[in-house]
Structure 1
Amino acid sequence: MTEIRTPRLLLRRWQDDDLVPLSEIHADPTVMQWIGDGTPRSLEQTAEDIEAWEEEWDEEGFGIFAVELLGSGELAGAVGLYVPDSPAVVAGQVAIAWRLARVFWGQGYASEAAHATLEFALQDRGIDRIVAVCRTADTGSLNVLDKLGMHAEGGAQDLVHGNDVQVYGIDLTEFEG
């Protein structure tokens, strides 16, 4: 089983006990405003998300991790890798994404988890390049992308959800692990 430990976090595969805490994160409109079409997700939709993430692990050898606080064992959110279908400019590439419960914002957890995931992708899985797609108004995620050393590569339109997004990227030669 793939696990990554950071000073404060455990990134791991999903467990049955994660469904309810993640569904509570997905039910928060403030958390979800930057994800997909911006609407909160139900318990059933969250179960489908976890199932899809686990399938991606099985098919690709990477996926979205559950992010657990080492000190308390509490589920803080999700971070990991996926292969997006849109926008077209990044379709089929490997992308990084995250979402954390609002109570954990502003404490460096997203940056810590995303950095560990980026290192995992580039060094452990041998993926040469990682992209990220971020809504132009999502300043919190833009700050994380900057901390990761990812570079803006241009704007795009997410035709599925109708959002203006910024595309970021980094390759192995640029990453400082």
Structure 2
Amino acid sequence: MTTTLRTPRLTLRRWREDDVAPMAAINADPEVMRWIGDGSVCDRAQTEAGIAGWEREWRERGVGLFAVECRETRQLAGFAGLSVPAFLPEILPAVEIGWRLGRSFWGQGLATEAARAVLDFALRDRGLARVVGVHTVGNAAAEAIMRRLGMRPERETTHPAYGLPLRVHVIEARS
């Protein structure tokens, strides 16, 4: 089973120990975290726990979040991948596509490039019939990427822990 994906500019791969520091720096940026959960930043320990959880999801479910590395520089840009959105039980069972890139990687089409590779992986390699995307209402950048991926809005709901309005997008495999 493939767990490394390559695009023209990116390598999506499993996590390594030397990814913790650059991912922690990304997670510590308030602008990056603005639309994530309640908007709180994460420290190094939280980042390490997150990466351990993403790797556990790979082992247990065969899907997870990839470390996204720029091919030219080998610099960690962030993550993109698949997860089960357990925080939103009303849409389960579901697999969610997601991404988070450091601010220096914004505005270059890298999130869309990574997300396209992940979506192809989900529908072709993993054989998923349906993938959802969830974003906080107002996060226009995330919504634009979902639309570029061909996802369509399915419903609006509220984050059960934070009370924030959420929009769920969906794409289904073509048979």
Q: TM-score range by the shorter chain?
A: over 0.9
Equivalent-residue separation in structure 2 for 1:45 and 1:38 (angstroms) = 14
User: Are the aligned partners of 1:89 and 1:156 in contact in 2 as well (CA < 8 Å)?
Assistant: no
Alignment of 1:15-94 (within 5 A): 15-94=16-95
Equivalent-residue separation in structure 1 for 2:60 and 2:72 (angstroms) = 32
1:146-177 deviations in whole A, cap 9, x for unaligned? 10000001100011222100000001118xxx
2:129 is aligned to 128
Secondary structure in 2 aligned to 1:57?
helix
Q: Judge which range, 46-55 or 81-90, deviates more.
A: 81-90
1:124-152 deviations in whole A, cap 9, x for unaligned? 01111000111111011111001000000
Secondary structure in 1 aligned to 2:35?
coil
Equivalent-residue separation in structure 2 for 1:86 and 1:112 (angstroms) = 26
Equivalent-residue separation in structure 1 for 2:66 and 2:91 (angstroms) = 21
2:144 is aligned to 143
Deviation at 1:85, TM superposition (A): 1.4
User: Are the aligned partners of 1:87 and 1:156 in contact in 2 as well (CA < 8 Å)?
Assistant: no
Give the letter for the 1:90 counterpart.
Answer: I
1:29-59 deviations in whole A, cap 9, x for unaligned? 0000111221000000000000000000000
| Structure 2 length-normalised TM | 0.97
Runs of 5+ unmatched residues, structure 2: none
Matched, 1:116 2:117: yes
Give the letter for the 1:169 counterpart.
Answer: V
Give the letter for the 1:54 counterpart.
Answer: E
Identity, in percent, stands at 45
The two structures, once aligned, show a CA RMSD in angstroms of: 1.1
Equivalent-residue separation in structure 1 for 2:79 and 2:166 (angstroms) = 21
Equivalent-residue separation in structure 2 for 1:160 and 1:116 (angstroms) = 31
Deviation at 1:92, TM superposition (A): 2.9
| Structure 1 length-normalised TM | 0.96
Q: Judge which range, 81-90 or 155-164, deviates more.
A: 81-90
Q: Which runs of 4 or more aligned residues in structure 1 lie more than 4 Å from their structure 2 counterparts after TM superposition?
A: none
